[in-house]
């Protein structure tokens, strides 16, 4: 498409059980159709598409966001590996008064940036973003009702949310649907 189209599949495993989705994900991306699939957990996707389908879907996504609230150790371990390690040099210095000499030893070390327990306990308002070709990034999320577009979103909800629509007969009676 000359103008990209975004397809939002919120609650995809509950509402939109589209069996072919993993097979079409990268194809749609190459056609200018950006598919955004929102799941509550890895297991939820596996229940719909199987382990192979879920891996295919995950691998084809250019941007992946983990927002916390998951206690699946295997999935979190894989995320931890993707986030990677922090490499640093630990310098140990010593001084001998007897000989009047000093020495230092530099030891390169690696520590996991976020381990499974860190990911499991990710606080509300934080997310880890995995974007193709870039290191994982810890971000602060901004709820729609607190962001710069809150007024526009509220106006849209007021105008188009079916639960808020007033029918002609209901309006005459002062009621809502």
Predicted pLDDT at 166: 58
Strands (E), 38-166: 63-66, 85-96, 101-112, 126-131, 137-140
Confidence band of 152 (pLDDT split at 50, 70, 90):
very high
**Cα(171)–Cα(111) distance, rounded to whole angstroms?**
63
**Cα(61)–Cα(26) distance, rounded to whole angstroms?**
7
Residues 6+ apart with CB under 8 A from 123: 68
Predicted pLDDT at 164: 74
Confidence band of 85 (pLDDT split at 50, 70, 90):
very high
User: Is the pLDDT score of 165 beyond 80?
Assistant: no
Angle between the N-to-C axes of helices 21-30 and 42-60, in degrees from 0 to 180, rounded to the nearest 10? 40
| Of 76-80, 146-150, 159-163, minimum mean pLDDT range | 159-163
Tell me: the pLDDT tens digits for 128-141? Answer: 999 999 999 999 99
How many contiguous H segments (helices) and E segments (strands) does the chain have?
7, 7
Whose CA is closest to 76, among 118, 105, 108, 131? 118
The domains of the chain are located at 143-177
User: Is the pLDDT score of 96 beyond 60?
Assistant: yes
Tell me: the pLDDT tens digits for 48-79? Answer: 999 999 999 999 999 999 999 999 999 999 99
Question: How many CB atoms lie under 10 A from the CB of residue 148?
Answer: 7
Do residues 148 and 154 make contact, with C-beta atoms less than 8 angstroms apart? Answer: no
């Amino acid at each position: 498409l000359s103008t990209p189209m975004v397809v939002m599949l919120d609650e995809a495993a509950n509402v939109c059980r589209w069996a072919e989705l993993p097979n079409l994900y990268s194809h749609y991306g190459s056609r200018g159709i950006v598919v955004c699939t929102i799941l509550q957990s890895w297991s939820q996707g596996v229940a719909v598409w199987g382990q192979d389908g879920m891996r295919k879907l995950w691998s084809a996504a250019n941007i992946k966001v983990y927002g916390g609230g998951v206690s699946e150790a295997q999935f979190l371990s894989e995320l931890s590996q993707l986030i990677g390690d922090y490499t640093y040099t630990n310098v140990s210095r010593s001084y001998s008064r007897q000989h009047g000499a000093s020495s230092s030893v530099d030891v390169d070390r690696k520590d996991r940036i976020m381990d499974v327990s860190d990911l499991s306990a990710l606080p509300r308002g934080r997310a880890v973003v995995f974007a193709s070709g870039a290191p994982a990034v810890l971000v602060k999320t901004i709820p729609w009702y607190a962001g710069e577009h809150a007024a526009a979103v509220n106006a849209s909800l007021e105008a188009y949310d079916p639960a808020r629509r007033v029918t002609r007969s209901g309006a005459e009676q002062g009621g809502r649907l």
